[in-house]
Amino acid sequence: MRRAAGAALVWTAGAGAGMAEPAGWPDLPDRAACEAVLTVVKENCAVEHVFRCPGGVQRNEVRNPGDSSYMITHGLTPLTVLTVADPSLGLFILMSDMMPAIGLEALSEGTFPKQGGSATMWLPFIHDPWTGRFETQLALTDSKFDLDGFRLIGLIQQMSLSFNQGHFAISGHGEGFVVEDLGISFAGSSEMEIWGSREQLDEDPVRLIRPGEAGFLADPDEAACVQIGRMTDPAPVFEGETDAAL
């Protein structure tokens, strides 16, 4: 769920740009300030590490086999994303006034208000940050199951981003899961459209690793993933033509 928009924008940013946090970026908890609670191994052999941070903030780190670094998101709650960042690519997105903030208590009600607000995006090939709009709608799915001793609740997120007066737009949907036992969330598979091209990521969970278990907080290991019955092409799937003109 939280992976979807970031994955599409990582593709757009390209590789090897690298930059420090931009001016106006909020002061967010780093890994050392947070409690690591779960590592998720995905169908495509990506890993996602989930952290609880001070002030109720959730930090997620996602990395595919072959990637040089992690994409990092911070959420005001496990259901309300605030930032997406991959400093190695020079990609930063801030949803500074996302409203309303949705907490886990909404799961018991089963309905979620639409979220929206302004967004700012920094990319290495643009001089000034782009401003735009972000909108998202959460919904419960029928998916509720146990994996490695944890109870998972399925969600789906419809989302759209529009920047540069609509010249740069991303839309689509992503699955997500709340770990009922821990009160945290992580991303599943997603399908997005960016500049008329479709991107699909197969990131459903196949293994959940607790603190102290082998593989906890480990970098993605394609060989280990294959050993538990998963074969992978770590590259995203793109279909259609792209139009790079902004």
Average of pLDDT values for 217-245?
59
Asked if the model's pLDDT at residue 2 lies above 80, the reply is: no
Q: What is the pTM of this model?
A: 0.86
Tokens of 32: 């050392």
- Check residue 137 and give its pLDDT: 97
Q: Is the pLDDT of residue 234 over 50?
A: no
125 pLDDT band (50/70/90 cuts)? confident
| Region 15-38 average pLDDT | 86
Residue position matching structure tokens 């419809």: 158
Cα–Cα distances (Å) from 232 to 13, 18, 162, 229, 238, in that order, read: 23, 27, 32, 10, 16
Q: What is the pLDDT of residue 231?
A: 47
> What are the contacts of 203-207 at 24+ separation with CB within 8 A?
203/3, 203/42, 203/43, 203/44, 203/46, 203/48, 204/42, 204/43, 204/175, 205/40, 205/41, 205/42, 205/43, 205/147, 205/152, 205/177, 206/41, 206/42, 206/43, 206/230, 207/40, 207/41, 207/147, 207/148
pLDDT at 242 over 60: no
* Segment 142-178, tens digit of pLDDT: 989 999 999 999 999 999 999 987 778 889 999 999 9
Torsion sign, CA atoms 121, 119, 191, 74: positive
pLDDT-derived band at 1 (thresholds 50, 70, 90) equals: very low
- Give the 3-state secondary structure of 47-106: EEEEEECHHHCEEEEEECCCCCCCEEEEEEECCEEEEEEECCCCEEEECCCCECCCCCCH
- d(CA 212, CA 243) in angstroms, rounded, equals 47
Q: What pLDDT does 135 receive?
A: 95
At 164, give phi and psi (nearest 5°): 55, 50
How close are the terminal C-alpha atoms of the chain, in Å?
27
Identify the helix (H) or strand (E) that includes residue 204.
Answer: none
The pLDDT assigned to 96 comes to 86
User: What is the residue extent of each domain of the chain?
Assistant: 3-15+33-215
CA 128 vs CA 23, 131, 144: distances in Å: 11, 9, 44
Distance of alpha carbon 172 from the chain centroid? 13
Q: Tell me, what's the pLDDT at 88? A: 87
pLDDT at 243 over 80: no
